[in-house]
Amino acid sequence: MKKCGLLTGLLMVSTIMFAQRKGDPMDRAAMQADKMKTELSLDDVQYKAVKAINEDFANRQLKLRGDSTLSKQEKQKRAWTLRNEKNAAIAKMLTEDQKSKWKSYRISQAEKHKAGMAKYRGEHAQRMQESLSLSDEQTSRIKSIDKEYGDRFRTLRNDSTLAREDLQKKAKQLRDEYRSKTKSVLNEEQYKKWEMQKADRKRRKF
């Protein structure tokens, strides 16, 4: 059961990372199947099955995103259920050796992603300084806020005692606090521009 849970978790990381990339979900589905074929030496039967699973998940994900009757929280819950179903289906198509290789590959990718995110967060204050014309003092304060909340988010993420819903609630609280502290550093014009930039990034993401 432990191995199964670990594999499922790693497949979730894979799913989330692919879902965060730009582009059509169907294209991402094919790309992930191709990546698994290369890394795991999938045979034709496995490849077709994995690709079909990915495409089915992508179609269901698109329908979920377009369902205006659901709240954001409900969409998140259903998306998590879809990921679980997809990961379980993919796991059934792999041999034990392929599962082991996929686990090692995802660990490696997760470490690279973690390093990339750390670098991105480290450069955040500098990007804000350039895009919002922050003073040196403002930039220094933003760096301190980024460090404080980066540490708090990592602590929260590593708290295995929390249920997923509690984790989401606490993460939202931290995001609200971070936003409030950042707002206190900016003048009115800078804050409005910052909010517009965030809204633009969110539109491009979806």
pLDDT attached to residue 116: 76
User: pLDDT tens digits, residue range 43-71?
Assistant: 999 999 999 999 999 999 889 988 989 88
Residue (of 3, 8, 205, 4) closest to 106 by Cα position: 8
Q: Is the pLDDT of residue 137 over 90?
A: yes
Over range 124-133, report the average pLDDT.
90
Residue (of 159, 12, 18, 36) closest to 86 by Cα position: 12
User: pLDDT tens digits, residue range 66-106?
Assistant: 898 988 888 888 988 998 899 899 999 999 999 999 889 88
Residue (of 14, 22, 21) closest to 54 by Cα position: 14
Backbone angles phi, psi at 133, to 5 degrees: 60, 50
Please say whether the dihedral angle defined by the alpha carbons of residues 101, 102, 107 and 111, taken in this order, is positive or negative.
positive
Percent of all residues in the chain with a pLDDT value above 90, rounded to a whole number: 43
Residues 6+ apart with CB under 8 A from 80: 164
Which tokens go with 172? 């939202």
> Could you tell me the pLDDT band of residue 109, with boundaries at 50, 70 and 90?
confident
Percent of all residues in the chain with a pLDDT value above 70, rounded to a whole number: 84
Give domain limits for the chain.
2-109, 123-205
pLDDT attached to residue 189: 95
Task: Please give the C-alpha separations between residue 177 and each of 6, 148, 195, in angstroms, as whole numbers.
Answer: 33, 11, 15
Average pLDDT, the chain: 83
pTM: 0.53
Structure-model confidence comparison of residues 195 and 205, the more confident one: 195
